[in-house]
Structure 1
Amino acid sequence: MNEAHDFSAQRAETFAVFRNLNDSADLPEIADVDYFFVASEGEIDWPALADALAAEGYLCELVDETGEDAEAPYMVATLTEQPLSAEGIWIGEEIATRIALARGARPDGWGFSA
């Protein structure tokens, strides 16, 4: 696992972003929360990452676009029907991040849909 990862800073950012969203919009009480992961460097075994996340209850989708404007592949790990709060988002984010870091991926944000 990447010991250099700053979980305290990641948590603080998650709480700040949630606070800003909550202040500017009427958020749903329950939502599907998506966590995004990209390769740290080089090749990554995306199926192994998906399997490890799925074992913890995440639904996983690899987004691997093709074409001229395609971005690098990334994984979306979703927890469905979650109570929407900064703490709830963080708990799911921390678990998924630890799994991803151990498999060569790094976090790249989160989002949600009602």
Structure 2
Amino acid sequence: MKIVPKEYAACPIRNVIDRFGNKWSMLILYILDKGGTLRFSEIQREMVDISQKMLSTTLKRLEEDRLITRTVYPEVPPRVEYALTEVGKSLMPHILGLTAWAVEHFDDVAGSNS
């Protein structure tokens, strides 16, 4: 558990970075935005090098944050689908803006690490 100084505990930017600063969350949201309602295996096919456990954990966290919905259908075999919520959809213009910035400045940022 992280200890957060009291003055930062209610900081919206810090809370957002804590939620989306991981390796996979924004990519999953991007995939759902482009693909619409998708099953677990469809999301996993679009991602490189993510384990089933990490994908499952990240999807659960995004659902807890009310950015995606998880719909389970009473079928055999079970069918589970994921989709963006309205809150998740409202985040997408910002993620797409960040994506455009990253593409435009990739060489500048990546070049600074060498």
Would you call these one fold, judging by a TM-score over 0.5?
no
- Which structure has more relative contact order (CA 8 Å, sep 6+)? It is 1
TM-score norm. by structure 1 comes to 0.27
The structure with the largest helix share of the pair is 2
TM-score norm. by structure 2 comes to 0.27
Larger radius of gyration: 2
The structure with the largest strand share of the pair is 1
